[in-house]
Amino acid sequence: DAGITQSPRHKVTETGTPVTLRCHQTENHRYMYWYRQDPGHGLRLIHYSYGVKDTDKGEVSDGYSVSRSKTEDFLLTLESATSSQTSVYFCAISDPRIYEQYFGPGTRLTVT
Amino acid sequence: SQKIEQNSEALNIQEGKTATLTCNYTNYSPAYLQWYRQDPGRGPVFLLLIRENEKEKRKERLKVTFDTTLKQSLFHITASQPADSATYLCALQNYGGSQGNLIFGKGTKLSVKP
C-alpha cells in the first residue's frame, strides 16, 4: 500500500446522498484506476485515468463519475448512492512502462 | 461470452507441499497475464506477470506457466508455508484493450495447514 492512500477508509451513507472517494498517490504514476470488489464478482473496473483530465469508462461505470485534476489525485463520485453500490472500492496505479498495478488499502462503503 | 475462471474457490494443502492454482479464460486474446495475492482487508499485491509469448516465469518459490493453446495459466507455490495462505487472483490484459484495463478472476482462497 506504500505510496497510495484512500480516504475515507470506511463510510456509511444513506440512499440518494452523494459520495466522493479520494485516491492519493505519491509515486507520480500516470495511470490510475478505480475498482469495486464484491463477493461472487471479483474485482471490476469502474473508471480509469491515463493522465490529468484524461479518463475513460470501465466495465461497471454506470452511476459513477471520476475526476483527475492533478497527477496525484483521482476522485470517484457516486452522484446519488444506491444500495447496489455497497462494496469495497480499491484504487490502483500503474506506470505505462510497466504493467503491474499497485493497489491502495480500500474503502468500505455501505449504502443504507 | 468472455470468461476468466479460477477453477477452485478454495484450496487446502499441507505445509511443504506444492500448491497449484488454475486460471482459464474463454474468448480473450491475452497480451499478458498477471497474478496477485490478496490478504483479508487489504488490497491486492502484484506477484508475477507472464507475456503471451512466454511459457514460464519464476520468482523464488513461485512459478507461473502460460499455455495459449489450452487458454490456461497455472500458478505454483513450492514448499508452501502457512504464511502463503491468502486469496490469489489472476488477471489478463486483452489485446486491443487499453493498457491496464485488466480483467480479474474471482480468486482462489489458499489455506496452508501446518
Encode pLDDT of B23-39 as tens digits. 999 988 888 999 999 99
B89 pLDDT higher than 70? yes
Encode pLDDT of B40-67 as tens digits. 999 999 999 999 899 999 999 999 999 9
B105 pLDDT higher than 80? yes
**What is the least distance, in Å, from the CA of A41 to any CA of chain B?**
6
B1 touches chain A (CB under 8 A): no
CA–chain centroid gap for A86, Å, is 13
B108 touches chain A (CB under 8 A): no
Q: Is B100 left (phi over 0), alpha (psi -120 to 50) or beta?
A: left
Polymer length of chain B: 114
Is B100 within 8 Å of A40 when comparing Cβ atoms? no
Residue of A nearest to B38 (CA): A103
Integer Cα distance of B102 and B92 in angstroms: 5
CB B25 within 8 A of CB B3: yes
pLDDT confidence of residue B93: 86
A1 pLDDT higher than 70? no
Integer Cα distance of A46 and A56 in angstroms: 9
Q: Which residues of A touch B (CB under 8 A)?
A: 1, 4, 31, 33, 40-45, 48, 50, 56, 58-59, 90, 92, 94, 96, 99-106
Q: Which of A101, A102, A107, A108 to mutate to test the interface with B (most CBs of B within 10 A)?
A: A101
Assign A110 a pLDDT band (cuts: 50, 70, 90): very high
Residue of B nearest to A108 (CA): B41
Express as a percent the part of chain B with pLDDT over 70. 97
CB-based burial label for B97 (10 Å; 0-12, 13-18, 19+): middle
pLDDT confidence of residue B100: 73
Integer Cα distance of A90 and B43 in angstroms: 7
Residue B22 φ then ψ, to 5°: -115, 140
A13 pLDDT higher than 90? yes
B89 touches chain A (CB under 8 A): yes
Can you read off the three cell numbers belonging to residue B65?
506457466
A73 pLDDT higher than 60? yes
pLDDT confidence of residue B74: 97
B101 pLDDT higher than 90? no
| Average pLDDT score over chain B | 93
B2 pLDDT higher than 90? no
Cell 491496464 identifies what position?
B100
B51 touches chain A (CB under 8 A): no
Q: Where are the beta strands (DSSP E) in B29-98?
A: 30-38, 45-51, 56-59, 62-67, 72-77, 86-94
CB-based burial label for B75 (10 Å; 0-12, 13-18, 19+): buried
Assign A2 a pLDDT band (cuts: 50, 70, 90): low
Selecting from A45, A100, A106 the residue whose C-beta is nearest the C-beta of B34 gives A100
Encode pLDDT of A51-71 as tens digits. 999 999 999 999 999 999 999
Residue of B nearest to A57 (CA): B101
